[in-house]
Every structure is written in C-alpha cells, then in structure tokens.
Structure 1
Amino acid sequence: MSKPMQTQFLLNEVSKFIHLTNGKVGQIVNELVDIILNKVKAKDTLFCRLFSEKLICGSYRDQIKINEPDEFDLNILLNLSKAKVVKNEKSHPGFVKVDLSAYKCDENFKSFLQRFTNRRCFLLVSNLQSWFESCISRVKIHNSVIELRSYKFYVKVRKAGPAHTISFETQEAASDPYLTTGFRFSVDLVPGIQFDRDDWPSEIAPDRDNYKWVAIPKPLNGSGNAEHLLFVPSYAVQESDIMLAKNSKKNALRLIKKIRDRNNIQNLKSYFIKTVFLWKSKRKGSKFWDRSIDVIVKKMLNMLRRRLKRRVLKFYWHRKFNMLDKFSPTQIDTMRMQIESAIRQFRSYRNTNMLFDLFLTDKEKEQLLARMQKRAK
C-alpha cells in the first residue's frame, strides 16, 4: 500500500469510528419537543397564535456530529408575516432589527406591540426572550417525568443565552441499544422570527427562490445595544444544503472537530470550523472535496490556521462581521498555536498508528484497534 493510501486508510478508520448515526434518538427528540410545544400552546394563546413550526439546526441537521448524538438544536419559528428587516451594517454588521410598524393599524396586535416593541415599533430582544422563557416555565416540566412510547424521561430546564436547554435522562427504557436507562441528551430551544427571500439580509444571494431564514434574539454582551434590538440572522437550511455532499467534506470536518476535542482547543466553536468549510466550498466548488481525505484535512487545518493568524474569521453570510472579535488576541493566538501543534503532529504521525492519538483518547484508540483486529480475522 502506498504511503498516501496508508494515511488515508487510517483517517477513514477514524471517520467510521466517530460517525455514529442514531436516528432513534432524533425521532424521540422530535416527539418529546412536540409534547412540550403542545403543552405550551394549550397554556399560552399568543404562542398558539404565532407558532409556525420547529426547525432542526446545527450539527445534527448537517450530519456532522461526532460520537453519540446527545445534543440537539431547534429553532421555534414564530410567524409575523408583516415584519420587515432593517439592516444594521454600520455599528453591528451582520445583525438586523425587526420592524413591526406594519401592525400599527391592526387592532389584534395592539397589546402585542405595547408589550414587545419600543416606541418606534422595533421588536425588543429582551422582551421576546422573557416571554418565551415564561412560556416554557408555565408548563412546569422542570423536574418532571414525561412518558413516551415505552420510555420514561426525567426532565430538567435551564436558560443559557438565547437558548432554553431541556435535558432528558432515560429513567425506564425498553430493551434498546441506544436509549438505555441513564442515557442523557439535551435540546436547545431558541425562538426565532421566520422571513422569506423578500427580506433576505445577506450580500450572498440565495440559491433557491423558496429559501427562508430566521432572525434569532441573541443578546450581545458589551455591545452597547442598550435597547436590545439586534437579532442574529440564521441560515440553517441554506448551510445544510451547502454541506450536502457524498465526498470527503463532512468526514474531514468531523475529523477536525475531533482534533479540537482531543486537544482541548477551547473557544474554537464548531460553527467556526464549519464556517471555514463554507468559505472553501464557495471558492473552490465541489471538485475540491473529491480529493483524498488526508489532503483535505491538511489543507483545511492550514486554512483555519491562517484565519487565526490574521485574527479574522468572516461570517459567511455577512463578511463585515468578524466572528473572532469577541475574543482577546491572547485567546485567538492560543487557538492558533494549538492548531499549529496539531498540524505538526499530523505531519509527523503520517502512515503510522500514532496518527490515531491526534484524534482519539487512549480508550477510544483501544476500542478502534480492537474493531480493526476483529475485522481482519
């Protein structure tokens, strides 16, 4: 076997090891969230009126999670069909305001405007978040048990940023290789206002006419956003389509995420890694990802290193927004040095089983080698 094939073989083995598909958990999550949202709709008439649909987001939607899928992100989409978007490019590029002035003459929305907007009829992030938090609190699921199919789940709720995290622990389970008693998973529920292509805020044009996007009420710490008016655009559906591939793109992304976790590279968010892949997809097209997995991983690690060295990682949809601005130079340089160390290890460990050490813990490496030996018999 040639040397490049040897490295490629090792990386493919790691890829298979860390990519575990557990559709059963995803189905259970979908049903559990439906139970909770139905409770909310029964308790809150405004939520029942505004709720449109739920949208799975993040790594699970993109199929780039590593190891067991135990964290899920869902946008809870609210329908305000007359809402308009106002860009905020000068002071906060990449963020938008939601203008509800079109509802001024609508008597059915009079109390809503008084409760959720400022004097200029801009939707207030803090008020929307507080209301959604009260919606979840009113159904009293914290420290409760939800029964579903042949399972019982112990439920806990906590608030973190724009998300309301609902944690589940399997209390009783049928004979099941995935949902065993004690298995834990969590769901982040984030409210959002859904918009269609007519209000598309990005300079990158959508590929399809039916694309929609979501304005997320995410607080901005230390931004001077005293009125809490700024929403973050989210493009989950579009990004999922860009990541869609039958080549090595997703495997390479998972491998770099595993390098991040194995080497404890703090602050290097999964979305930062994904953003580097989005930019490469735009600039190089689909053929780039047809290369061997070892070439792709090497090139993407170097691209990530260059972005960290410049201390600039542009948001794919809004290039004026540098996603690294929230970190200090020291924090960014620490991430860069850790990636540089990973690149050196990747180069040194080529064609040897030591390459596993870059991605796997000792226990994981032992498990993978045992599987490989079993298959070889």
Structure 2
Amino acid sequence: MRIFVKAFKGLSLTGSYLDRVKLTKPDEFDKHILLKFPFVVNAVKDEIRPGFVQLAVQAAVSHPAVVDGYVNRRVLQDWLRNAFQAALKNNTITFFSLYNMEYKSYKLEYVQQGYDCAHTIIAKSELRTIAFDFVPAFAYQYKDWPLEEPPVDIGVREKWPWFAVPKGRAPRDDRTFMVCAPHWERRMMFHKYNLRKCACA
C-alpha cells in the first residue's frame, strides 16, 4: 500500500465527461490513475501488435509490478487490486453535498477489480448509485511517442499527453500495454458531426 501511495500521481478524466457529451446527471466517471515509478519507464513499440507498446525498465530494478525488465500488465493489476482492497476495508464514505446542503453516506463496493482493464467502485446511497472506473495509466509526452505519426495537429500532440494502459483483452504477452490518447482523439473527431467523440480505455 505504501509503495502505491508513492506511485500515485493523480487522476485524469476520460470518457463522456471529458468529451462533454454526457447529458444526464453525473452517475459514472471514467478516470485514469496516473502512475509514476521512482525509475525511468521507457515506452517501446511492440513490433508484433499494432497500437501496443511495452514498458521497459533497467534490468536491475526491483518493484512489485516489474518482471524481467518490463512492467508486467498482469502483475501490475494484481498489485493495484491488493491496494484497492486494503483501502476499501471500511466500505462506507460520508461527504457534504453542496447541492442540497446535507451529508450523504454511500456504501462502496469494489467490482471488476482490474481483471479487464478498469478497477470499478460502485457508490450507493438510498437515492443514487455512482460508478467510478479507474484505469491505471502511464503518461507520456509526444517526444516519447514510439509509433507512427498520428493524424492530429502537432500542437495538440505537444499540449496533451498520451497514455499506456493495461488493456485486459490485449494479447497474451503480459508486457503489452495499449496506447490511449483521449485528447488527441477528441481533436480527430472535431467537426465529424456523424460520429460521437470517444476515448479509449
């Protein structure tokens, strides 16, 4: 748990609320859990699988999510699952609602647990249910982009990061991470009136 706290570097919004296409009262949120390890993690192109990268580290690195010089997707998810389970031993949260100026208690349930890609927490009160999907992600700048040049303005590429995420339906090689760039994708869909904006993961 302590190692996870050191690796946690914040959250990044993705999905419908990032794209501002969600029309109903907020009931689900998609978030990237930004991870940063205390050593260099280089994204290198997966030569076999288009759209995937491998996250290479120095061979001497010792970390719960690293196996044989690479961040291992399956082991990473196991490590995060243990951290979530430890954090949610007390499965009730209370917060003050500015909307109706009263305290609300929610019971938390940890579902899905990273076996696909996201770690999902369901928060339930007497009147509402809210889902939070947390997807682990390593953030990179465009200068670290290892794939072919994407069809999006250079200004957008340099302003917004791209991510490597442990997509559960990826090939069997546990070193593979899927490339994801929500802000780039938003720009690519701009003025495409017959298409819905989308963000992978």
Q: TM-score, normalised by structure 2?
A: 0.81
2-structure distance, mates of 1:53, 1:240: 21
What corresponds to 2:94 in structure 1? 147
- Bigger radius of gyration among the two: 1
Shift of 1:139: 1.4
2-structure distance, mates of 1:215, 1:184: 29
Query: In 2 relative to 1, CA 145–123 (structure 1 residues): closer, same or farther, beyond 3 Å?
Result: same
2-structure distance, mates of 1:219, 1:167: 20
SS for the counterpart of 1:165 is strand
What corresponds to 2:76 in structure 1? 128
Letter in 2 for 1:60: Y
2-structure distance, mates of 1:145, 1:241: 39
Match of 2:179 among 227, 233, 255: 233
Structure 1 portions without partners, runs of 5+: 1-43, 105-109, 172-181, 254-272, 279-314, 316-377
In the alignment, does 2:40 pair up with 1:82?
A: yes
Match of 2:49 among 62, 70, 92: 92
Shift of 1:211: 2.4
Provide the aligned C-alpha RMSD in A.
2.6
Query: In 2 relative to 1, CA 167–274 (structure 1 residues): closer, same or farther, beyond 3 Å?
Result: same
Percent of matched pairs sharing the same residue: 25
In the alignment, does 2:20 pair up with 1:63?
A: yes
Query: In 2 relative to 1, CA 64–141 (structure 1 residues): closer, same or farther, beyond 3 Å?
Result: farther
Letter in 1 for 2:119: H
Q: Which has the higher helix share?
A: 1
1-structure distance, mates of 2:188, 2:123: 31
What corresponds to 1:116 in structure 2? 65
Shift of 1:242: 4.6
Kept in 2, the 8 Å contact 1:165–1:189? The answer is yes
Q: Which has the higher strand share?
A: 2
Letter in 1 for 2:123: F
Shift of 1:244: 6.0
Runs of 4 or more consecutive aligned structure 1 residues displaced over 3 Å after TM superposition: 66-69, 240-245
Letter in 2 for 1:186: A
How many correspondences in the alignment? 187
Shift of 1:132: 0.6
Kept in 2, the 8 Å contact 1:62–1:244? The answer is no
Q: TM-score, normalised by structure 1?
A: 0.45
Per-residue displacement from partner, 1:140-196 (whole Å, max 9, x unpaired)?
357x2200012111111112511111111123xxxxxxxxxx211101011111111
Per-residue displacement from partner, 1:290-336 (whole Å, max 9, x unpaired)?
xxxxxxxxxxxxxxxxxxxxxxxxx9xxxxxxxxxxxxxxxxxxxxx
